[in-house]
Structure 1
């Protein structure tokens, strides 16, 4: 199995690469960091991380010639399992509203909106308890109350409630995990979420949608 970690100059990939390599060794998976669309298209798993603002990440992905088209064909047409992380998850939405309206990939219907948490610090930063909304294979061994590590001021409000797999309570329900078909996304950073994050990564690598 080959896992493509997409490099589009939007975040430090080192910790994500180490976490996926650690779990990949258990099943003989090769993890490669790539900015080459052909390499991404041929992968058995695709992971799209992202740090920073939604518009900047969306623009950066579009600037890697052919990458958005390559991963769209792989994921939507051929059913390659996909994971988005942080802003990589947010870009699954129809539209984002950070700074200005920016179209997302529209793989999971919804919009990226600001966290509205009066009296609480925004960005939402640090550990928070997951609340599981829907069962899913990537959540095997993960239960309500398990902690994950977040750094964000915006979240994906899904159109279809069935596509929200988990949330956290931070002034209101804040989306933590989304998914449909062969696509999943985490608002938190699994590579920074210790045992629970590694468990989720391992589940993703073993998942057969």
Structure 2
């Protein structure tokens, strides 16, 4: 693993456990990247408050994740406070949960109840099946057929790359009820568009396997990681920030989409660094050295 000249981090990293994360794989990768730190898997708000850094991973479906987070007393407030006061790294569903709302689980208004959405959320079954992720061994065997060089598209250009633009999605005012997120980064989470995937060569959803990541702006967490480096993905939905200033990186799959977001002391990624070999370990190491 590439080294760093900065002093080794020796503090505590709290790994938030709300019951829907690849916690032990993330913990092992963090411990390998930062052997002098203490990695603690926890659902205790007090531990999160005391920790120097917080990692917020998640896997599965957004409606379930927000419900499970709320079931742990004080945990959502602890995550919010951490996002205001210390370095926070969101991973996969943990990234998506930071935005305002998600199309995942949205239902027509006539199927909504005063307390939420009734019945099985649309898209929940295929997301739950597709976003559990593979084993580390399976990650290494994935092919790179979906890795395509990004192309310029409509919208403003940052760092020579097309910034993903807001496109059609199942949420429409008065027509559907979105799943709420934490609202810490303005924007929403959308599903890969079926027509776009078909036009791009019948690409499969979920997007699963190795793909290239291109930074959209400089950031300390990209130190030592080449533009276009491969990371491992398993997802059907992706973040779409309202303001391009929050886009930290993009990936191409049928079109350019946001695969990393940032705001102040928050950095969050759609891909799985714990399944991404040396590039993932370097990103974890960079996170432990980050001084926002």
Shift of residue 145, structure 1, vs aligned partner: 1.5
Task: Give distance in 2, aligned partners of 1:11 and 1:132.
Answer: 25
- Tell me if 1:165 matches 2:165: no
Give the aligned partner of residue 104 of structure 1: 181
Give the aligned partner of residue 166 of structure 2: none
Q: Report if aligned partners of 1:10, 1:57 keep a CA contact under 8 Å in 2.
A: yes
Give the aligned partner of residue 91 of structure 1: 97
Q: Alpha-carbon deviations, 1:148-167, whole Å to 9, x = none?
A: 00000000001110111111
Give the aligned partner of residue 61 of structure 1: 69
User: Larger Rg: 1 or 2?
Assistant: 2
Query: Matches of residues 181-192 of structure 1 in structure 2 within 5 Å?
Result: 181-192=264-275
Question: Secondary structure at 1:112's aligned position in 2?
Answer: strand
Task: Give distance in 2, aligned partners of 1:73 and 1:90.
Answer: 18
Q: Report if aligned partners of 2:89, 2:268 keep a CA contact under 8 Å in 1.
A: yes
Q: Report if aligned partners of 2:82, 2:88 keep a CA contact under 8 Å in 1.
A: no
Q: Any unmatched runs of 5+ in structure 1?
A: none
Residue from 214, 225, 229 that aligns with 1:146: 229
Task: Give distance in 2, aligned partners of 1:82 and 1:132.
Answer: 18
Task: Give distance in 2, aligned partners of 1:102 and 1:166.
Answer: 24
Task: Give distance in 2, aligned partners of 1:12 and 1:80.
Answer: 22
Task: Give distance in 1, aligned partners of 2:50 and 2:188.
Answer: 30
Give the aligned partner of residue 38 of structure 1: 46
Query: TM-score normalised to the size of structure 2?
Result: 0.69
Give the aligned partner of residue 52 of structure 1: 60
Task: Give distance in 2, aligned partners of 1:74 and 1:129.
Answer: 30
Task: Give distance in 1, aligned partners of 2:104 and 2:257.
Answer: 16
Aligned pairs, how many? Answer: 205
Q: Any unmatched runs of 5+ in structure 2?
A: 1-10, 107-177
